[in-house]
Structure 1
Amino acid sequence: MLDMSATALAVVQGSYTMAMRAESWLGGVLLTDDIPIADGSESRDRSLAIPEQVSFTIPRRDRGYDWDPGIDPAHPLAAYGQMLRIDYGVDVGGGGQYEWINRGWFLITDSSTEGDTVTVNCAGLLTLIDEATLVSPFQPSSTDTLGSVVRALIEPALTVSYDGSLVDRAVPLGMQWDSDRLGAVTEVLGAWGAAERVTEDGYLLVEPVSDAGAAVLAISDDRDTGTVVRWQGSTTRDGACNCVVAQGEDAAGNQIQGVVYDSSGTSPYQYGGNFNPLPVPYSFQSSLLTTVAQCRTSAAAQLLLMRRQAFRKLSVTMVPHPGLVTGDILSVTGAGLTGARCAIEQLTLPYSTGEMDLTVRVL
């Protein structure tokens, strides 16, 4: 959960007054700190390569300023590298005394004017990596590690920070990536048993794949207060598995592999259970895996990543909570569950009066 005071946390549990503010920056220079957002929303989806998307509208003219982005390449709303820092305000004093919660940094991808309205679309900062395909093949040196390779592929577009629990290791000789920069990062992190996310401060945090941690918020199905919890109305066997096989190659050129089975007692895909008494594997190969232990670690992380997409999920509609982000753990009561640990996989947060929608996965 994003940083919020105890007062703000108490306020957002019920009806409250909100406000939005946004700053525009270009090349480290503040262009404006007062973009007048009239309406819009922010969506996040952990299954996407670029999880964060923002769209909002503002009046073309406000307080004597023309917000038409076509005026100047250095205009605050132009799409030439301009980044927005967006804050969600909660009135904690009842009289316009706002606490501002930083929702993060977003890159303007396009903006246009129609009549008296300007529409702005933004995406997460991983857009910078996704669009920057490699000009020539990228080959790590003999001294490179997994961490240094990720840093070389990402910086200076984003500053990379590593969770202290990750154990770095050397990259095997002969590795090469031809064009897909973000795909190369994903492959390295997959072999490391790690995942990346852009923090609200705008840097890239690399950390182990995990569903551990205590719930940051308890929610209950209560129609009187506006919280509705429902099971999602679909289920499929497509893409489902009950084990993951990670394959690599040791120093002698022998093929190695590590297998991790879904052993969760609460998983409908549990190995040996009703889903299928036989192994239903998801297999992948990486030359970055050189020991059986590395293969097993990578397979375990991949199983957790796959469960984010193929598992039991709930839809939640509630009063907007500006502190929530994808990956947060909630305690959910409703739809036949009592205090179930759930992880947020998708969310939509309105930038004006409205309801917040969540998709949470039962852990």
Structure 2
Amino acid sequence: MLDMSTTALAVVLRSHTMAMRAESWLGGQLIADDIPIADGSESRDRSLAVPEQITLTVPRRDQGYDWDPGTDPAHPLAAYGQMLRIDYGIDVGGGTMEWINRGWFLITESSTDGDTVTVTCAGLLTLIDEATLVSPFQPGSSDTLASVVRALIEPALTVSFDGTLVDRAVPLGMQWDSDRLGAVTEVLGAWGAAERVTEDGYLLVEPVSDAAAAVLAISDDPATGTVVRWQGSTTRDGAYTCVVAQGEDSAGNQLQGVVYDSAGTSPYQYGGPFNPLPVPYMYQSSLLTTVAQCRTAAAAQLALLRRQAFRKLSVTMVPHPGLVTGDILTVTGAGLTNARCVIEQLSLPYSPGEMTLTLRVL
């Protein structure tokens, strides 16, 4: 969850007065502040290569300033490297507005229609996704997983690594031809890690895990009014009961590690009613050089696969500007009691309205 005061956390659990503001930056320099946002929305989806998408509407003229980017490449709303820092404001009483930083977003398109400017933004991983490799990327003999990630990402984004990750050398002979973001994904997959862009604009690399503490309890109790309505769904598509991760040691011997879904509460538990036979997902990487590495990668891939196929709930609720994908909630309702769920998708309105979440039951 994003940083919020105790007062603001209490206010957002009920109907509240909100406001939006944005700053525009270009080349590390502030070029406009307090951009007037008339409407908009933010969506996040952890299954996408670039999870964050923003749409804004801005009045063409406000307080004597023309927000039409026209043909000026240095205009605050132009799509030539301009980044927006977006804040969601909460009226906490006494004429005080608390601002919650939703993060940094790259303007990808802007257009003017009459008196309205429409601005489309995407997450900062767009910088990596669009920057395909000019020539094949080959790590050197002294490179490690961390140094390869830095070489592929920086200086577009500054990379920060979780202290629990154990770095290791990259096998000789690795090469990636064109897909820069795909190369990062392969390295992180073999490491048992995943990346996310923080609200401060850094790329954080951390272990794949759903073990974090819950940040919020939601329910359909009329006394709290947190949840407006529920919708549920289940599917067999993309469901596996085990992951087989394969690699190769320095002598060319084939290695593999297998991790089975052994969680007692999992509907895809190996040997359970889902299928009495194993349903394997095959994962292969030349970055895996020991059986232990294969098992770690297999466990991480199993956790990532669960994001796609586990029981899902669609929740409509009062907007909560502190929530982001990956946050853990406890849910009471829809047949659940204090069940741990993780946010996989969200849609946050930038004007008065309802917030929607897609939760995965853990």
Give the TM-score normalised by structure 2: 0.98
Q: Is the 8 A contact 2:13 2:226 kept in 1?
A: no
Question: What whole-Å deviation, never above 9, does each CA across 1:49-68 have from its counterpart, x for those lacking one?
Answer: 00000001011011111100
- Residue of structure 2 in register with 1:206 after alignment: 205
Report if aligned partners of 1:318, 1:356 keep a CA contact under 8 Å in 2: yes
Q: Distance in 2 between matches of 1:281 and 1:229?
A: 36
Amino acid at match of 1:269: Y
Residue of structure 2 in register with 1:28 after alignment: 28
Q: Give distance in 2, aligned partners of 1:250 and 1:310.
A: 32
SS in 2 for 1:308: helix
Matched, 1:117 2:103: no
Q: Write the letter of the residue equivalent to 1:57.
A: T
Separation in 2, partners of 1:2, 1:65:
32
Q: Is the 8 A contact 2:218 2:329 kept in 1?
A: yes
Deviations 1:171-191 (A, max 9, x none): 000000000000000000000
Cα separation, 1, equivalents of 2:319 and 2:235: 30
Q: What does residue 283 of structure 1 align with?
A: 282
- Counterpart of 1:48 in structure 2 is 48
- Whether 1:297 aligns to 2:296 is yes
2:57–2:117 CA contact under 8 A, matched in 1: yes
Query: Which amino acid in structure 2 is aligned with residue 314 of structure 1?
Result: L
1:9 and 1:103 mapped to 2: Cα distance?
A: 15
Q: 1:195 to 1:226 in 2, by over 3 A?
A: closer
Please state if 1:104 is matched with 2:103.
Answer: yes
Give, in angstroms, the shift of residue 232 of structure 1: 2.2
Q: Structure 1 residue 339 and structure 2 residue 338: aligned?
A: yes
**Separation in structure 2 between the aligned mates of residue 229 and residue 245 of structure 1, nearest angstrom:** 39
- The CA deviation at 1:15 is 1.2
What CA distance in whole angstroms lies between the structure 2 residues aligned with 1:213 and 1:3?
A: 16
CA contact (8 A) 1:262 1:271 kept: yes
Count of residue pairs the alignment pairs up: 361
CA distance in 2, matches of 1:221, 1:125: 35
Q: Is the 8 A contact 1:229 1:335 kept in 2?
A: no
C-alpha distance in 1 between matches for 2:229 and 2:336: 10
Deviations 1:17-55 (A, max 9, x none): 100000000001101111100001000000000000000
1:147 aligns with 2:146: yes
Structure 2 Cα separation of the partners of residues 277 and 182 of structure 1:
37
* Counterparts of residues 54-203 of structure 1 (less than 5 Å): 54-95=54-95, 97-203=96-202
Q: CA deviation at 1:231?
A: 3.8
Alignment of 1:249-264 (within 5 A): 249-264=248-263
Q: Is the 8 A contact 1:248 1:256 kept in 2?
A: yes
Letter in 1 for 2:52: E
Identity in percent: 85
CA contact 2:104–2:199 (8 Å) conserved in 1: yes
- In structure 1, what residue type is equivalent to 2:61? R
Aligned partner of residue 109 in structure 2, secondary structure? strand
**Secondary structure of 1:164's aligned partner:** coil
Q: Offset of 1:286 from its aligned partner?
A: 0.3
- The code of the aligned residue for 1:148 comes to S
Partners in 1 of 2:266 and 2:73 — Cα distance? 52
AA aligned opposite 2:18: M
Q: Is the Cα–Cα contact under 8 Å of residues 106 and 123 in structure 2 kept in the other structure?
A: yes
Q: 5+ unaligned residues in a row in structure 1: which ranges? A: none
Q: CA deviation at 1:236?
A: 2.6
**1:312 is matched with which residue?**
311
* Alpha-carbon spacing, 1:222–1:94, altered in 2? closer, same or farther (3 Å): farther
TM-score by length of 1: 0.98
CA distance in 2 between counterparts of 1:66 and 1:20 reads 19
Contact 1:220–1:229 (Cα < 8 Å) also in 2: no
In structure 2, the CA distance between the partners of 1:226 and 1:332, relative to structure 1 (3 Å rule), is closer
Question: Residue type matched to 1:271 in 2?
Answer: Y
C-alpha contact 2:311 2:361 (8 A) present in aligned 1: yes
How far did residue 226 of structure 1 move? Answer: 5.7
**CA shift digits 1:134-160 (9 cap, x unpaired):** 000000000000000000000000000
How far 1:229 sits from its partner (Å)? Answer: 4.4
Deviation at 1:222, TM superposition (A): 3.6
Distance in structure 2 (CA, Å) of the matches to 1:265 and 1:55:
42
Structure 1 match to 2:19: 19
Mark the CA change 1:22 to 1:324 in structure 2 (over 3 Å): closer, same or farther.
same
Structure 1 partner of 2:361: 362
Give me the whole-angstrom Cα distance separating, in 2, the residues matched to 1:178 and 1:82: 29
> CA offset at residue 240 of structure 1?
1.2
- The aligned residue for residue 10 of structure 1 is 10
The 3-state SS of whatever aligns with 2:7 is helix
> Contact 2:219–2:226 at 8 Å: present in 1 too?
no
Measure, in 2, the Cα distance between the counterparts of 1:131 and 1:93.
44
User: Matched residues in 2 for 1:167 and 1:71: separation?
Assistant: 49
The range that moved more, 223-232 or 159-168, is 223-232
